[in-house]
Amino acid sequence: METLSENAAFGGVQGVYKHASDVCNCDMTFGLFLPQEAKDGPVPVLWYLSGLTCTHENAMTKAGAQVWAAEHGIALVFPDTSPRGAGVADDEAYDLGQGAGFYVNATQDPWAPHFRMWDYVAEELPRVIDAAFAIDPERQAITGHSMGGHGALTLAMGLPGRYRSVSAFAPIANPSASDWGRKQLTAYLGADEAAWAPHDATLMMRTGGFDGPILIDQGANDQFLDLLRPEALAGAIAAQRQEASFRMQKGYDHSYFFVSSFMEDHVAFHADALWR
């Protein structure tokens, strides 16, 4: 693993690191914030999954999460959103290919050799981090924005017992019924919609839900509301009688101004579960 940068931040360290990924068959870069408590031993960790077009850097520099993570003594992990490089398949569209991994394991060409973001986030990157940093693997939580909110919710429900809590900012909530989803799930997983179900938070909520608390914030002025389909997930949460808070935030859009406005709430929400 190569250290690309390390900067003091809020008493801790914000680092950026690169490593060779066996899962994605390319080099991958991630951000990691460690609070000062990590000097004395393992700390809980909150995973932040970013959205379409983003890298590890967007949330790391725009979300304002480090100040609240430092306050609660929690580490933050900022993975990239896809494999990258000259030999990695891509598409001219912003919502497919590099920067748009959708947190699935692709089974279709030309994506299958590299696009295995589910395994990367769920298995490989945790092993890399656990081996090198003071992280407590028994105390994990996950959050994300947009495509990353989709990833956070599906990983949390798809890996029972892994995460103590899950939250999302404006998640792609029902991708199998949206143009932000049908296109990508067909490209990565094929036309059989049965293969899509484990990657649709609304469908997963209807069939099982999450064994823990959920917090979702959605901007009421989000320019992508029709693509996100929050009403489908809200209905599934109600039908499942899931422990959850789903908040429509008046006046807010899809931007990082929205994310940073409610980041304090989300970190505190996860801290309550992680330190319990």
Q: How far apart are the first and last CA of the chain?
A: 33
Catalytic residue at 222? yes
Q: Both tokens of residue 89?
A: 């398949």
Catalytic residue at 261? no
Mean pLDDT of 174-195: 97
126-167 confidence digits (pLDDT tens): 999 999 999 999 999 999 999 999 999 999 999 999 999 999
- Give the Cα separation of 83 and 24 in Å (integer): 6
Mean pLDDT of 13-22: 98
pLDDT at residue 78 in the model? 98
Beta strand residue intervals within 98-153, DSSP E: 135-144
Give the chain's domain count: 1
Cβ atoms of 163 and 156 within 8 Å: the answer is yes
Catalytic residue at 254? yes
Q: pTM for the full model?
A: 0.97
| The one catalytic residue among 146, 165, 167, 178 | 146
Cβ atoms of 37 and 43 within 8 Å: the answer is yes
pLDDT mean across residues, the chain: 97
Cβ atoms of 20 and 110 within 8 Å: the answer is no
Confidence of residue 215 (pLDDT cuts 50, 70, 90): very high
Q: Which long-range contacts (CB under 8 A, 24 or more apart) does 191-197 make?
A: 195/107
CATH code, domain carrying 145: 3.40.50.1820
217-274 confidence digits (pLDDT tens): 999 999 999 999 999 999 999 999 999 999 999 999 999 999 999 999 999 999 999 9
| The one catalytic residue among 82, 200, 222, 270 | 222
pLDDT at residue 179 in the model? 93
| The one catalytic residue among 145, 199, 254, 266 | 254
CA dihedral 241, 247, 248, 250 (to 10 degrees): 160
pLDDT at residue 226 in the model? 96
pLDDT at residue 133 in the model? 97
Exposure class string for 54-72: b at 16+ Cβ within 10 A, else e: bbbebbbebbbbbebbbeb
Confidence of residue 22 (pLDDT cuts 50, 70, 90): very high
Q: Which domain holds residue 252?
A: 2-275
